[in-house]
Amino acid sequence: MSRHCGGAYARFVDIVEFLSERITEDEAAARKLLSDRTLSKSGQWYENRLLLECAAKRRIIGIIEAARQTALATLVSNPYGDGSQWIPEALEWTTLSLNALALPYADHPDFEQDWLTTGRA
């Protein structure tokens, strides 16, 4: 999966794809367990909660992606940076947010170690 075309943009796309694939796997696992008639009430609650958490993660990724697109569009339309001092910070927080969402999947073989970066000390 690790397709690095170079630059921050390729890395960003990779982590979004990575997260989307992991969320899809989590949803499939939860649905499979929910189809088991022997699953306890607490197990059903947990799996339903996992499905809601997957939906929440997808929303968060959508919000982050919208912010990133706004920052990149502003950068392209205003390459001289007039009034766009916020762009580097916005791109940093979007990257850090996605890195945080990837943490639960750190044991996955496609996980990139530099996603463990937490940002400023």
Average pLDDT over residues 77-88: 75
Residue 33 included in any domain? yes
CA distance 88 to 94: 10
**44: its two tokens:** 């059903």
Residue 2 included in any domain? no
pTM of the model: 0.79
Average pLDDT over residues 57-68: 95
Residue with the bigger pLDDT between 76 and 20: it is: 20
Count of structural domains, the chain = 1
Is residue 6 over pLDDT 60?
no
Q: What is the pLDDT of residues 12-46, one digit of tens each?
A: 548 999 999 999 999 999 999 999 999 999 999 99
Residue 1 included in any domain? no
Q: Which residues contact 58 (CB under 8 A, 6 or more apart)?
A: 20, 23
- With H, G, I as helix, E, B as strand and everything else as coil, classify residue 85: coil
Residue 120 included in any domain? no
Residue 107 structural domain: 7-115
**84: its two tokens:** 């766009």
Q: What is the pLDDT of residues 83-97, one digit of tens each?
A: 677 888 888 899 999
How high is the pLDDT of residue 119?
56
How high is the pLDDT of residue 80?
72
Residue 29 included in any domain? yes
Residue 121 included in any domain? no
Residue 107 included in any domain? yes
How high is the pLDDT of residue 118?
66
